[in-house]
Amino acid sequence: MLLGTFCATAVLCPVHPAAAQTPALSRGKLALEADPSLASDPHSLLVRFAASADEASRADALARIGGSVLTRFTLVPGLVHVAIDGDVADAITALAAHSAVLYAEPDFVVRTQGVTPNDAKFPLQWAMRNTGQTVNSDPGTAGADARMTEGWTVCTGEPDIVIALLDAGTMISHPDLAANIWKNTAEIAGNGLDDDGNGFVDDIHGWDFYAGDANPSEGGHGTHTAGIIGADGNNGIGVVGVSWECQIMPLRFIGPLGGFTSDAVRALQYAAGKSVRASNNSWGGSNASQPLSEAIAALQDLEHVFVAAAGNLGLNTDVYPYYPASYPHDNIVSVAATTNDDTRAWFSNYGPNSVDLAAPGVSILSTYGLDYAYLNGTSMACAHVAGIAAMLVMDFPEMTASDIRQRLIDTARLVPALGNACRSCGVLDAAKALGAHDAPPNSAPSVVITAPAAGAAFEEGIAILFTARADDEEDGVISHRIIWSSSLQGDFGTDAESVSAALTAGEHLITARVTDLDGAVSTQSRAISVKIPAAPQAPVIARVARAGLGMFVGWHDRSSTETGFELRRQRMMDGVWREDGLLSITGANLQHVVDGDAGPAVVRYAVRAVRGTARSAWSRWMAAELP
């Protein structure tokens, strides 16, 4: 099963030191390099044992499939990576029947998405500052950016900011990245020892989980996302990252043709072991992995913000989930991609409930190899958000991962074209997220009631239509955020239009209240009156007769004010008339109705007229008998 492309948090997992010193590809990775379309490792699987299972029962389960443990994970208790010699599907079936096993699944392949190289200069980084310039032959719209230059008035980064980069490797010697590559100060370079006792030898700049060595340096996709996050700023060369000063922790787990879920979990465990609280995950796919989901959930307990690309399939992920972005964890920030004119990129996944916000992701210039390139993708959008998320972790240490996610959603710049694309209906706004001091002060919204008219009078029980429009200088049209209330009854409706027939008799002060995305509130009120209506005149029942399988009931309407009628039915049972139903009939000036539920019994009817909450007297009873 192929996962595809997604973003997740990096975590460290202890492995045997001997394995760390022997950078040889596993049988699964050799198989992947021989078959680019491989969906999962044919020689291993991921198994999670029940907490109650003892070592003997676990050993028995593995013995049944001829399995041997490659890694025992600590991030997800009971999870192991198991090597097998037989068929993976057969092994999973056998393990599913064993009482010691919670689940077993294939070690899925995940992949990144590629891009085309080009040249580089800061004026071409439209995502940071869009003046309407033409980038990569594409003219933009001024202001359609992430407001990064305003955000930098608050913070351009700090040396203590650490962000884990789970990807296909990062060129640690790139002149625009070298100053901001994480260094493991607890490890002594080149001594062949595991100085910090984390199971990895000489892991000075992260780890390569694909090749199994201490050199995570590669020049492609991961180098590009690294440059977006943290290319060295104000150094006179190349491009600038979201965070000019930071520490990028390269955790390579994807090779030239993809990588395995087991290595993604290992990378996440590594980051967790180093107390990293933010990660960029520009990879994913359509198949859910329970071990990966559980690893991300464990990171939430550590307040780790897991920024994930929404995916590049152009699908609504409310309907077609894309993982890990679609896992239901509050520490995951799912990111769609936009163009330089504030529209959703044609390739970007979207979802008003499953995607959190959007960010620039088309013709994005960043580091690539030892040079620079333009790339397209939600991978690029994800990296912009991850850089800001890491800065928020540092600037607001009291915030939980869920708080940071919500702040990114709440401060997004509202874009009408993204109304159905994501929760925030907007694009990353670095200035608002970071609290830029020179960001324009938030203006209060305006709200105007358009109906009903001031002083209008209504009768109790009659449906009343309330309409209003709300606008905000920063957020645009926000009529959908209107809340309606009555001075007598409190809140009774929401949205630009609300219909209510529940207002009781009295003098009401009706208020339309709207709150913009920055919390500013505006209201408008107007008085209306609701009166108890006069009862309509009672109808005269005239005829009850069989009509096919039902019963025809006719009456004389003697009122000109009714809005409907009520028909009361009784059925003869054991010589006694018993209540059998009340039928509401909407519409004025009616003269008859056919009751299809009368059935083959002796029935009788009475009718009365209705206006709002007022009722006429009942007519006399009239009976008929169905054979």
Q: Is the pLDDT of residue 131 over 50?
A: yes
Distance CA 314, CA 169 (A): 26
With CA atoms as reference, report the closest residue to 508 among 460, 473, 546, 475. Answer: 460
**Contact call for residues 603 and 571 (beta carbons, < 8 A):** yes
Task: Report the percentage of the chain scoring pLDDT > 70.
Answer: 93
Reply yes or no on whether the pLDDT at 348 is more than 90.
Answer: yes
- What is the pLDDT at residue 3? 36
pLDDT at res. 220: 92
Asked if residue 19 has pLDDT above 70, the reply is no
118-123, Cβ contacts within 8 angstroms, sequence gap of 24 or more:
118/365, 118/372, 118/373, 118/374, 119/372, 120/238, 120/239, 120/365, 120/366, 120/371, 120/372, 120/373, 121/239, 121/365, 122/239, 122/240
Is the predicted pLDDT of residue 438 greater than 70, yes or no? no
Helix/strand/coil for 481 = helix
Which residue has better confidence, 159 or 405? 405
Q: What's the CA gap between 356 and 382, in Å, rounded? A: 11
Pick among 3.20.20.70, 3.90.550.10, 2.60.40.10, 2.40.50.140: CATH of 446-531: 2.60.40.10
The yes-or-no verdict on residue 437 having pLDDT over 60 is no
Instruction: Give catalytic status of residue 167 as yes or no.
Output: yes
Beta pairing partners, 447: 470
Q: DSSP secondary structure string, 440-454? A: PPPPPPEEEEEESPT
Q: What is the DSSP letter of 40?
A: E
Q: Which amino acid belongs to residue 541?
A: I
| pLDDT reported for residue 322 | 94
Name the DSSP class of 111: B
Tens digits of per-residue pLDDT, 365-401? 999 999 999 999 999 999 999 999 999 999 999 999 9
pLDDT one-digit tens code per residue, 76-128: 999 999 999 999 999 999 999 999 999 999 998 887 643 322 334 567 888 88
Structure-model confidence comparison of residues 395 and 437, the more confident one? 395
| The pLDDT value given to residue 21 | 43
Residue-wise pLDDT for 132-176, tens only, equals: 888 888 888 888 888 888 888 888 888 899 999 999 999 999 999
How would you classify the pairing of strands 245-252 and 157-167? parallel
| pLDDT the model gives residue 119 | 32
Q: Do domains 446-531 and 540-625 have the same CATH topology?
A: yes
Whether residue 599 is predicted with pLDDT greater than 90 in this model: the reply is: no
Please provide the size of the chain in residues: 627
Nearest CA among 2, 238, 289 for reference residue 118: 238
Q: What confidence score (pLDDT) does residue 174 get?
A: 96
| Helical ranges in 417-483 per DSSP H | 430-434
pLDDT at 452: 95
Exposed, middle or buried, 585 (CB in 10 Å: 0-12/13-18/19+)? middle
Question: How far from 422 is each of 278, 281, 293, 427, 517, CA to CA, in Å?
Answer: 21, 18, 21, 9, 15
Token output for 359: 């960010």
Whole-angstrom CA distances from 358 to 338, 389, 400 are 6, 14, 21
446 pLDDT band, cuts 50/70/90, is very high
- 174, 221, 304, 508: the catalytic one is 221
Provide the 8-state DSSP code for 345.
-
Q: Considering Cα of 413, then 414, then 416, then 422, what sign does the dihedral take?
A: positive
Strand positions, DSSP E, 233-388: 245-252, 254-255, 258-260, 278-281, 305-309, 332-338, 357-360, 364-368, 371-375
Q: Is the pLDDT of residue 207 over 80?
A: yes
CA 54 to CA 57: how far, in whole Å? 6
DSSP reduced 3-state for 393: helix
What is the predicted pLDDT for the residue at 581? Answer: 86
625: confidence class by pLDDT, cuts 50, 70, 90: low
At 23, is the pLDDT very low, low, confident or very high (cuts 50, 70, 90)? low
Of the residues 41, 107, 167, 595, which is catalytic? 167
DSSP 352-382: TTT--EEEE-SSEEEEETTEEEEE-SHHHHH
- Collapse the DSSP code of 556 into the 3-class scheme (helix H, G, I; strand E, B; otherwise coil) and give the result: strand
**Higher model confidence: residue 201 or residue 117?**
201
pLDDT tens string 535-563: 999 999 999 998 888 899 999 999 988 98
Burial 215-224 (b: 16+ CB within 10 A, else e): bbbbbbbbbb
Q: Are strands 68-72 and 134-135 parallel, antiparallel or unpaired?
A: unpaired
pLDDT score recorded for residue 627: 54
Which helix (H) or strand (E) segment holds residue 543: the answer is strand 540-547
Per-residue pLDDT at 256: 87
Q: How far out from the chain centre does Cα 202 lie?
A: 38
- Per-residue model confidence (pLDDT) at position 235: 85
DSSP assignment string, 136-175:
TTEE--TT-S--HHHHTTT-SEEEEEEEEEEES---TT-T
Mean pLDDT of the chain: 89
Mean pLDDT of 461-479: 87
Tell me what the mean pLDDT of segment 280-296 comes to.
93
Q: What percent of the chain has pLDDT over 90?
A: 69
| Architecture (CATH level 2) of domain 540-625 | Sandwich (2.60)
User: Tell me, what's the pLDDT at 10?
Assistant: 25
Long-range (24+ apart) CB contacts under 8 A made by 233-238 are 233/156, 233/157, 234/156, 235/176, 235/179, 237/175, 237/176, 238/120, 238/175, 238/176, 238/367, 238/372
pTM above 0.75, yes or no: no
Of the candidates 348, 333, 317, the residue with the CA atom closest to the CA atom of residue 412 = 333
Grade residue 129 by pLDDT with cuts at 50, 70 and 90.
confident
- Residue 514 has φ and ψ, to the nearest 5°, of -135, 140
- Are 57 and 100 within 8 A, CB to CB? yes
* Residue 244 scores a pLDDT above 60: yes
| Distance from C-alpha of 310 to C-alpha of 315, rounded to nearest angstrom | 10
Q: What DSSP state is assigned to residue 602?
A: E
The packing angle between helices 221-230 and 378-395, to 10°, is 40
- The model's confidence at residue 264, banded by pLDDT at 50, 70 and 90, is very high
Residues in contact with 142: Cβ distance below 8 Å, sequence separation at least 6, in sequence order: 130, 131, 132
Question: Please, are residues 566 and 536 in contact by the beta-carbon 8 Å criterion?
Answer: no
Q: Which of 366, 379, 486, 619 is catalytic?
A: 379
Give pLDDT, residue 121. 59
Predicted confidence at residue 340, as pLDDT, reads 93
Does residue 484 carry a pLDDT above 80?
yes
Kindly list the domain boundaries of the chain, sorted by start residue.
Answer: 446-531, 540-625
Is residue 309 within 8 Å of residue 384, measured between CB atoms?
no
Instruction: Indicate the pLDDT class of residue 16, thresholds 50, 70 and 90.
Output: very low
Q: Count Cα atoms within 13 angstroms, Cβ side, for 113.
A: 26
Two structure tokens written together for 446:
């305006």
